[in-house]
A and B are shown apart, each in its own frame.
Chain A
Amino acid sequence: MDEKIIKSPENIVYQKPRLMNDNTMHYCPGCGHSIVHKLVAEIIDEMQMQDQTIGVCPVGCAVFAYRYLDIDWIEAPHGRAPSCASATKRLWPNHLVFTYQGDGDLACIGTGETIHALNRGENITIIFINNAIYGMTGGQMAPTTLMGMKTSTCPYGRQADLHGFPLKISDIAATLEGTCYVTRQAVNTVGNIARTKKAIRQAFENSLQGRGSSLVEIVSTCSAGWKMSPEQSNKWLAENMLPYYPLGDLKKL
């Protein structure tokens, strides 16, 4: 069969999501953020919610998420996205409202806002990218940095007596009355990407049906911060991140 014949529009089985525009993403090669962006774009389109979705960007690597997905966005101050989303959802109760946050934003400076929004049972979805490091500012220690892991602000490795312990924010979230769905996923393999997509879809459905707060943690890589190739990063994630941050549903009502 001729290459030209097979490359006809009706034979397309996978392509860049319709709601993702042509702006080149600023993310480093192989970054998990980009993969999750694609999933979010696909799901919003599949749910036909483009004109009823409000996204809230964090401060951190995903600060420019609004450049890539053709939906309306609010850029929140550092860590405050859950507060922004809480008010937005209450004022627009039929809309799909979600935040997209990294570990520095959500699990450090925004811990209070996160816990309280989840505990109020706000009908929002929080998408939480955990790559155990501050990416945007250049690889500093995050609350989720693993013990012994080297970053620019713990260059000899994270030590309990100096830096405390990595924070499992999803485990905390699962104990809150307001959450209906807390899950930890990853995007390091094709299979995990499919499971992550299913999880985000589930969370969005929960939000629309008023079941309470949903938190989707996505264990991800930061090849630039970890100083590895994207391929090595995915391997390192499987060997080091997943034992401490095991995948699966922590709570599903």
Chain B
Amino acid sequence: MAKFKGIIEVDIARCKGCNLCAVACPFDLIQLSHQVNHNGYNYAVQVDATRCTGCSSCGIMCPDGCITVYRTKE
């Protein structure tokens, strides 16, 4: 099983697909999904959590408060 240092959770229903989280991620771990949510937006997904450090850049940048960032204590 992979070891996570950080991971994000996207509130898909609120996401407007602005892509600013993807731009903010220092490791390019976020992309817009090909699927759309009920508002028709291509919502953000973390495509690779293995390299996420839980730095919170995506969450801080997300205008709609859709991203919760988790990080392990160690």
List A residues at the B interface (Cβ < 8 Å): 1-3, 6-8, 11-17, 20, 22, 24-25, 27-35, 38, 189-190, 193-194, 229-231, 234
Contacts and interface: CB of A to CB of B under 8 A. Distances in A.
Contact of B69 (A3, A13, A30, A189): A13
Interface string B1-28: 1111011010101101111100110000
A3 B4 contact: yes
B20 A20 contact: no
A29 B63 CA distance: 8
Closest 9 CB pairs of A and B: A16-B65, A34-B63, A30-B18, A14-B59, A29-B18, A29-B16, A14-B69, A14-B56, A11-B70
Contacts of A231: 19-20, 23
B70 A12 contact: yes
Interface of B: 1-4, 6-7, 9, 11, 13-14, 16-20, 23-24, 41, 49, 54, 56-57, 59-61, 63-73
SS of B interface (majority):
loop
13 contacts: A1-B3, A1-B72, A13-B6, A16-B66, A22-B14, A24-B14, A29-B17, A29-B18, A29-B63, A230-B19, A231-B19, A231-B20, A234-B23
B71 A11 contact: yes
Contacts of A17: 65
Contacts of B49: 3
B20 A30 contact: yes
Contact of B65 (A6, A20, A230): A20
B7 to A, nearest CB: 5
A1 B65 contact: no
Contacts of B14: 22, 24
